[in-house]
Structure 1
């Protein structure tokens, strides 16, 4: 084999590699723009944001939407929940919106804050009753999971830790007996 033939073969191999990778990226790797991950789409993400914002609304501190709690929930459910709990969560999310529509005549996203709050309070009572009667092998209630993820996502976010809680990036000495005044915010860890 002479030098020119070797260069031609290397160029063919390298060109095929580059073109093949580019073709693969264009055809095989583009996720659907509506999908957030394997379990959730954009509409479900918006619904989770609104549910979280209803649980932790914006007041003098930013709400759950500012902390992007909906996106946090989609990651946690996909990456950390067992398949059984993933099914319960996603089915519950769908059932929540259907039940809201049946009761109020609109989707949860289009509902007003009063009806959303009233509806979630009813769901909260339902999940508390379920938790009392639940057997160990029974799955968790979907609204219980949503509430837990909302609180975890919010208070571990930068917004929640710095705006809703008191935060010291470099703690000083340990003081086990600090004065507490009624109305003081809790400390972030």
Structure 2
């Protein structure tokens, strides 16, 4: 199974609840992706990347704050920033793409307000406190928002960090327990507190 199939299945298991889940289930074919597919080779050459390398690196740091390296590799080792760039470009509606892009600026502004410095200049403890506050903010917003209201940028970042990490090679084989050729299906596996979850069963 390739990674795209895995992502589609995760979205299906979650009931398409992920932001952009509707596109996940249709193989990430956003209008922009269709235009690109049908465009000329010349147009493709001139196309700017959706996120700059600096923005991808920034998102890797955001992801690493959520899933830091411990005994297992963190989000940066899985390059979740690059994963987010591809998924937002190919699988999110244009309105959500703009919210995500604007969210990079909003996160930086929130860091300046809370810590008096940018996210990258903040200490690990300051970064964690900021993201914890933003997570609480997005949860409250998501509970009360109208169906047609825009999504919260931090929810997108958090969802994509988790999805990108746990469907990556390092996430599924080192953070989770992985058996490349599993045996029979066992729906009731013994579990002890502290055991890693299974990427395959």
What pairs up with 1:85-104 in 2 under 5 angstroms? 85-104=96-115
Task: Report the counterpart of residue 5 of structure 1 in structure 2.
Answer: none
Question: How many residue pairs get matched?
Answer: 159
| Whole-angstrom distance in 1 between the partners of 2:195 and 2:114 | 39
Task: Report the counterpart of residue 71 of structure 1 in structure 2.
Answer: 82
Q: TM-score, normalised by structure 2?
A: 0.75
Unaligned runs of 5+ in 2: 1-40
The question of 1:42 aligning with 2:53 is answered yes
| Whole-angstrom distance in 1 between the partners of 2:103 and 2:54 | 15
TM-superposed CA distance for 1:103, in Å, is 2.4
| Whole-angstrom distance in 2 between the partners of 1:53 and 1:147 | 11
Task: Report the counterpart of residue 189 of structure 2 in structure 1.
Answer: 178
Unaligned runs of 5+ in 1: 1-23
1:122 to 127, 130, 133: 133
2:173 to 142, 162, 168: 162
- Give a deviation string over 1:3-54, Cα, whole Å, max 9, x none: xxxxxxxxxxxxxxxxxxxxx99xx9477xxx6x1x3112211110110000
Structure 1 range deviating more: 67-76 or 93-102: 93-102
Larger Cα-atom Rg: 1
